[in-house]
């Protein structure tokens, strides 16, 4: 993160009571421009190329992670900066495992394929990313379930699949749930996936069951979808919409519930 923008963000987070420890880089933080067409609700993204990360800056990041004290969860997301190999994801996941932390990997493309080799605890691809990962086009729920189960067999504990208006699917060995949000006007999709991951992590560290954590994920993402611009998910909005989430057993869980 560029030093000037990073320090400004650190100040804002501190003002909200959130501690941070950014690794500053010499390049400028990239700027993404999102155009929203009011008549159709469509969004057009212009994503700038990020700065090149220098070797010493990358080493500093890894050392910061290695110095974490008893972390519960390490979440990894975003695009690979210039000059950084996908191997960095495997390094971070392995480091977190050595610290007894669970890992959440929310990346795509070669980063997801490379990171998967280190067996993160949780991944959150969308349908297109999951299709790319398994090498075949996925459309209906049964196909998506089968692909997610294959990922479970590779050593990934939980696969969360975001499916847009169709909801978020959770596949864990023996537990498969689909969280479907209520129908709302889509005002914004930027940051919805990140908020869903944050909601799910909040559920995990709160000690809830997986299907409740999934409801948290769907609620946090839905708050962003209903918001204008780049608004953050606020606790009040989250708590208001959470009761509207519908979580149903599918696949293995549904068969189990019929037999019980």
| CATH number of residue 226's parent domain | 3.40.1190.20
In a domain, 87, yes or no: no
Rounded to 10°, the helix 109-116/127-134 angle is 60
- Domain end residue (candidates: 52, 67, 82): 67
In a domain, 94, yes or no: no
On whether both 28 and 135 belong to a single domain, the answer is no
The verdict on whether 21 is a catalytic residue reads no
In a domain, 197, yes or no: yes
On whether both 37 and 129 belong to a single domain, the answer is no
The alpha carbon of 94 is separated from its chain's Cα centroid by a whole number of angstroms, namely 19
On whether both 164 and 60 belong to a single domain, the answer is no
Catalytic member of 106, 108, 132, 194: 194
Tens-binned pLDDT, residue by residue, of the chain (260 aa): 555 566 777 888 888 888 888 888 888 877 777 777 777 767 777 777 888 899 999 999 999 999 999 999 999 998 888 888 999 999 999 999 999 999 999 999 999 999 999 999 999 999 999 999 999 999 899 999 999 999 999 999 999 999 988 899 999 998 999 999 887 666 667 778 889 999 999 999 999 999 999 999 999 999 887 776 666 778 888 889 899 999 999 988 777 654 33
- Domain end residue (candidates: 50, 67, 84): 67
Which domain covers residue 139, as residue numbers?
124-259
Contacts of residue 81, Cβ cutoff 8 Å, sequence gap at least 6: 25, 50, 51, 52, 53
- Domain end residue (candidates: 67, 83, 98): 67
How many structural domains compose the chain? 2
On whether both 225 and 128 belong to a single domain, the answer is yes
pTM: 0.87
């Amino acid at each position: 993160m560029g030093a000037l923008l990073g320090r400004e963000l650190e100040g804002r987070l501190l003002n909200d009571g959130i501690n941070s420890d950014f690794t500053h880089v010499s390049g400028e933080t990239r700027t993404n421009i999102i155009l929203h067409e009011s008549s159709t609700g469509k969004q057009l993204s212009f994503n700038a190329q990020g700065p090149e990360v220098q070797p010493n800056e990358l080493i500093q990041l890894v050392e910061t992670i290695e110095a974490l004290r008893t972390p519960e969860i390490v979440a990894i997301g975003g695009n690979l900066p210039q000059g950084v190999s996908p191997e960095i994801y495997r390094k971070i996941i392995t480091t977190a495992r050595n610290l007894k932390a669970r890992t959440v990997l929310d990346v795509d493309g070669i980063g997801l394929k490379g990171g998967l080799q280190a067996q993160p605890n949780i991944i959150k691809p969308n349908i297109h990313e999951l299709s790319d990962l398994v090498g075949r086009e996925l459309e209906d729920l049964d196909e998506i379930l089968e692909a997610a189960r294959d990922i479970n067999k590779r050593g990934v504990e939980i696969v969360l699949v975001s499916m847009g208006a169709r909801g978020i699917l959770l596949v864990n060995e023996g537990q498969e749930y689909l969280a479907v949000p209520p129908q709302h006007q889509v005002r914004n999709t930027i940051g919805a996936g990140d908020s869903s991951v944050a909601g799910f992590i909040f559920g995990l560290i709160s000690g809830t069951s997986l299907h409740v954590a999934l409801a948290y994920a769907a609620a946090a993402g839905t708050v962003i979808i209903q918001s204008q611009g780049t608004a953050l998910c606020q606790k009040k909005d989250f708590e208001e919409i959470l009761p509207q989430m519908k979580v149903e057993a599918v696949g293995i869980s549904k068969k189990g519930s019929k037999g019980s």
